[in-house]
Structure 1
């Protein structure tokens, strides 16, 4: 065992009280980025996060943006040494106390379980990496370590790209580690190398100015709800989920058998998946097919229909307008703007008075699953958790990953620590010491690997 790792296990065990104290302090600040009423809490989160970085031996600064600030922490071993940047976010989702068994903004420690809003998404993983950096700083490991902690991730990172652009060369790095993803199974580590993109849009049909009596106008009057249902069924088969818009998937690269084998090796179980999400049936019960659909294929989803009467009983009116709230999840090589234009043109060619409006667009991401930085990540995970990780793709989207990939021009590796049971965005969200302890070992091993690389010329 290399000298730098000799006392790591003892350090991890001894650091638990400090980790719990830091996590309790952060959880106690309700930094809900979606609610302007919590703007002061966002500012408090930033200042406290900077104090935590300094307490761990790093320099820290709070960088203002047009919205919420970004917190940057740095340990500089030397300009000729490799640099690792670790990204997390510290803003959180809202929490309704009535839905929680404990107070959401007070950390509740129950054995190894840490319950509280933000405990797993993403304050716990952020502090896990910080505990590892503290170890590296105290031992003067010859690697530059930078933290970038965002406070607007939960609202789509609207100012993060401007921050990265403004920082320019100050953010130069050799690799970026992102700890904001979820393993597929608790007993099998996973590294995400791909993220689906997203296009959200609304389709509106307006055929009048007010509700009309269906007994007086029905049959002659156009019904916008009925027409919207028809539009949706022209775009996607409701039974199979197959997307019917011509050209929609032309640029999609089929997932390989090798990739699918790794998806399956992640420990995914169909029954567990259904139970975790409260699903009573699926479009397929085949493991490989479910994984293909969730990780590597695009989707066309309906999220809501507005229009007409929705109160008790039936009100026999023909509504004057209706709107469908829709999205498409995209996979690598699909361009979100091009996909939206394709869908918009497909709909309006058949329904000229349909109004199709783009809400948001986010490109998919495909990172490395081979090469020195991915292999170093795999080795670090295996060292910390005792099993080789599966390389998988995430079904969701992280806007900051795309920004860093585009502007920092360094490999972005997703080293998540959260488990399916931790309850991302859900009531009773929690983290646990087993994942934190393993995560500290994982990050230290990665730092140690980079420190062993030769100095730059």
Structure 2
């Protein structure tokens, strides 16, 4: 809210089409047949190297050389799509296709810097990093180890010491914290190497012929290796399983006779690959060589999930954060050729399945979002905390062989390497050849991207110049100083939580909500949860329990806030003196979008409760409800809160800080807001747009009807609103209220009290705009005219009664015109008025503490704007609400150069600390 009051029409998005986000997670065990073809890098490793190189070359020639046009899609539920304003241009489709006319030209510093490029005789199929080393698995059975400090090849591991190595492709690599390197490939074996000595310590195998090994994952918690295989199974083993020492590995699965692969083909003739494989078996058995002792670890026969997928298990990832409502310390996530993401508990019990339309070839977890690369070029984005698919990125038809995330950019490996912006339609082609694998890592404060592909490996510096320091919420300890508050606010501000454009800022809103959840958890919250909102951003819920369980006080406080902000991008950003999403401190103020409305006050309240709790001084339960759609009319808020009443529990007091002082000097307490009814009125003719010189005067014109209709709503002399019983329930001013106005007049003599009363306690009607069809020139009779109006209502007026009387009034006046045109009325937004009790316990405590910390008498004020959730929360929990403004009248909320005075932020925290201690 702002003293420079804007009508909701100026900043509330009218969502004619909903943002299609499912609110219910998928937990079925889905069975699908993959429809995507097997990607080039996962063709049978037994194809001769020359043939595979030729196939790679043909694939590269078939692919387009132009930069693909990036599409950003939101998944549809039923027939609902979401329409956003330009740019990108308005469309009726759920996808926003890139167009060169709308694609911003990337700046030079948007292009990553290529630091070095290495070549190899065969393709690079996988890679990982550790400190200053890059490990690369190759098509010809080697692990190449490069040092990025010297750009040199540090070492080379040959998978086997005999001719068998020529038929092995290294398909996956994995590291653990004990310095072990796990290498899996096309021979069904996992080799375990010591990173320091580069020697093979163990060979892990299974009695089951599992085929190629496509994915590996190591769980530090239970020290277990997990294996994703070609036969659709997931295996696991511990390195302390029984170890057998043998002189050769000829009897392991990669040398066994296979009834399918090794039988004769049509005509009784063996194919070239088959003959070559038999020759390898013979040579490996008969050739003279120095005996090598192998340490073998066998996967137990029962340590396998057969048919974990109905396709190859291409991806395995571990995550240690929350997933849905499940209470596990870590989860295994697998992706397969069947297009399914399976989520497994610690005991390898499948707890959820997420369906995708194509084969899953790559996965990446960023924060609590799962990015899934598919065989049809799509990248689906799943929120693992709510198990919702929230977004889809789409380019041209190219398999997503690998992907990774850094800041607001997504790096995709396919026929080329692409940097795709998640905030715009930018798509930069960094490489032109086939890229099989990518990995992002950080070393010495710089961020690098390594990309391996067709006979080459490239290293890119993708370090972002903007400040991306990680907050200290990742640690278990936390400081509660004001400096820590500012550091955390800087991070909080950096999230572009613009709810008006969900297709552009879905990730920012989700990351911000998860940031708050982590912050609450680190501060010791009793419970936290993201409450999914259909077609909207989630609501953050957190609860702190009082420290003294034996005290007689049983008060429960609900703190309401919002983390979304109004837009400050595109042309709005040009008017700012600083970057709207970088916190800037100057002249005693903090400048940034949302610093005053509402991120600064929100974070101050969180720090207040967190510090009290950690000092064992919290004397009441505190529940936080922080929504992400307040600036768009609190979409879905009431439904979710009603459905979550059992979770939230009983509430005694509701508090918020989403308002401002009357001036820049005098502290205030806000105890009242007007309500609002927004309506659009449309009058339409059956005839098309016409020329006034041809058809003028022939029939009634929609615009003339609209003028008569609107003029009937207000008396031109008295300015009274002419709706039935409109003023009937307006409360008369009381003696106590007059005393509050007298105090304002005494302390602020330049304030016009009559003007305040008109804005605060009197209802009003406003005509915001009138729009017509046609080309808008001076000779056209428009077929259609639409007007938008708002009615501000005051406490004790019944919203539903006024709404009904408004509609009846308009229809009655229109009928009296005897017009052949058609009238339609749409009430698209409404909010109840709210009035608090300045004499209740919370207001009196706030008043006392405001006076104490500011050393002056605070003022009780009201405001002419609306916050829809305040009165709703009062009704929902039968509890009184109290609002303590944090900002000054000059804070410029919703405007350019939004600011918050630093001392106001710190004082709010001190005032809340004293108040919560006394409740």
Task: Indicate whether 1:119 and 2:595 are aligned.
Answer: yes
Cα deviation for residue 238 of structure 1 reads 5.2
| SS of structure 2 residue aligned to 1:421 | coil
The match for 1:8 is none
Task: Indicate whether 1:305 and 2:305 are aligned.
Answer: no
The correspondence of residues 417-432 of structure 1 with structure 2, limited to 5 A, is: 417-432=886-901
The match for 2:577 is 101
Find the aligned partners of 1:269 and 1:205 in 2 and give their Cα distance: 47
User: Which of the numbers 24, 27, 32 marks the counterpart of 2:493?
Assistant: 27
The match for 2:170 is none
Task: Indicate whether 1:58 and 2:525 are aligned.
Answer: yes
Query: Cα deviation per residue 1:162-208 (whole Å; 9 max; x = unaligned)?
Result: 23222224332221111111111222222122211111111112234
By relative contact order (CA 8 Å, sep 6+), the higher-ranking structure is 1
**TM-score computed with the length of structure 2 as normaliser:** 0.44
CA pair 56-385 structure 1, distance change in 2 beyond 3 A: farther
RMSD: 2.3
Say which is worse superposed, 112-121 or 216-225, in terms of deviation: 216-225
Find the aligned partners of 2:893 and 2:759 in 1 and give their Cα distance: 17
User: Which of the numbers 635, 639, 644 marks the counterpart of 1:162?
Assistant: 639
User: Which of the numbers 779, 789, 794 marks the counterpart of 1:326?
Assistant: 789
The match for 2:502 is 36
Contact 2:680 2:786 (C-alpha < 8 Å) held by counterparts: yes
| SS of structure 1 residue aligned to 2:753 | helix
User: Which of the numbers 827, 840, 845 marks the counterpart of 1:371?
Assistant: 840
| SS of structure 2 residue aligned to 1:163 | helix
Contact 2:493 2:581 (C-alpha < 8 Å) held by counterparts: yes
Find the aligned partners of 2:800 and 2:668 in 1 and give their Cα distance: 31
Cα deviation for residue 240 of structure 1 reads 5.4
User: Which of the numbers 396, 416, 437 marks the counterpart of 2:885?
Assistant: 416
Contact 1:62 1:72 (C-alpha < 8 Å) held by counterparts: yes
Find the aligned partners of 2:658 and 2:778 in 1 and give their Cα distance: 47
| SS of structure 2 residue aligned to 1:351 | helix
| SS of structure 2 residue aligned to 1:422 | coil
Contact 1:379 1:388 (C-alpha < 8 Å) held by counterparts: no
Contact 1:201 1:327 (C-alpha < 8 Å) held by counterparts: yes
Contact 1:190 1:266 (C-alpha < 8 Å) held by counterparts: no
The match for 2:856 is 387
Find the aligned partners of 1:328 and 1:414 in 2 and give their Cα distance: 23
Contact 1:384 1:439 (C-alpha < 8 Å) held by counterparts: no
The match for 1:233 is 711
Contact 2:493 2:592 (C-alpha < 8 Å) held by counterparts: yes
Find the aligned partners of 1:425 and 1:306 in 2 and give their Cα distance: 25
Contact 2:531 2:541 (C-alpha < 8 Å) held by counterparts: no
The match for 2:723 is 245
Cα deviation for residue 233 of structure 1 reads 1.6
Find the aligned partners of 2:689 and 2:653 in 1 and give their Cα distance: 58
Cα deviation for residue 323 of structure 1 reads 1.0
Contact 1:308 1:317 (C-alpha < 8 Å) held by counterparts: no
User: Which of the numbers 760, 765, 768 marks the counterpart of 1:295?
Assistant: 760
Cα deviation for residue 215 of structure 1 reads 1.9
Query: Cα deviation per residue 1:333-373 (whole Å; 9 max; x = unaligned)?
Result: 11222112111111211212432222122221122121222
Say which is worse superposed, 216-225 or 417-426, in terms of deviation: 216-225
The match for 1:283 is none
**TM-score computed with the length of structure 1 as normaliser:** 0.86
Find the aligned partners of 1:110 and 1:241 in 2 and give their Cα distance: 45
The match for 2:607 is 131
Find the aligned partners of 1:118 and 1:389 in 2 and give their Cα distance: 25
Cα deviation for residue 269 of structure 1 reads 6.5
Find the aligned partners of 1:49 and 1:139 in 2 and give their Cα distance: 21
Contact 1:196 1:364 (C-alpha < 8 Å) held by counterparts: yes
Cα deviation for residue 400 of structure 1 reads 1.6
Flag structure 1 segments of 5+ consecutive residues without an equivalent: 1-12, 273-286, 451-457
Cα deviation for residue 14 of structure 1 reads 8.1
The match for 1:83 is 556
Cα deviation for residue 90 of structure 1 reads 0.7
Find the aligned partners of 1:135 and 1:358 in 2 and give their Cα distance: 44
Find the aligned partners of 1:389 and 1:34 in 2 and give their Cα distance: 35
| SS of structure 1 residue aligned to 2:585 | strand
CA pair 439-310 structure 1, distance change in 2 beyond 3 A: farther
Task: Indicate whether 1:317 and 2:780 are aligned.
Answer: yes
Size of the aligned set, in residue pairs, is: 422
Query: Cα deviation per residue 1:19-60 (whole Å; 9 max; x = unaligned)?
Result: 111111011000111212211111101111112223334345
Say which is worse superposed, 145-154 or 290-299, in terms of deviation: 145-154
Query: Cα deviation per residue 1:423-456 (whole Å; 9 max; x = unaligned)?
Result: 1111111112111111011101101211xxxxxx
User: Which of the numbers 10, 15, 22 marks the counterpart of 2:481?
Assistant: 15
Contact 1:263 1:390 (C-alpha < 8 Å) held by counterparts: no
Contact 1:252 1:332 (C-alpha < 8 Å) held by counterparts: yes
Flag structure 2 segments of 5+ consecutive residues without an equivalent: 1-478, 816-821
CA pair 120-239 structure 1, distance change in 2 beyond 3 A: farther
The match for 2:736 is 258
Say which is worse superposed, 64-73 or 196-205, in terms of deviation: 64-73
Find the aligned partners of 1:56 and 1:415 in 2 and give their Cα distance: 23
Find the aligned partners of 2:742 and 2:697 in 1 and give their Cα distance: 52
Cα deviation for residue 401 of structure 1 reads 0.9
Question: Whose Rg is larger?
Answer: 2
Cα deviation for residue 74 of structure 1 reads 2.5
Cα deviation for residue 308 of structure 1 reads 5.0
Q: Which runs of 4+ in 1 moved over 6 A?
A: 267-272
Task: Indicate whether 1:215 and 2:680 are aligned.
Answer: no
Say which is worse superposed, 181-190 or 56-65, in terms of deviation: 56-65
Contact 2:555 2:621 (C-alpha < 8 Å) held by counterparts: yes
Larger helix proportion, structure 1 or 2?
1
Say which is worse superposed, 80-89 or 113-122, in terms of deviation: 80-89
Contact 2:692 2:780 (C-alpha < 8 Å) held by counterparts: yes
The match for 2:680 is 202
CA pair 438-350 structure 1, distance change in 2 beyond 3 A: same
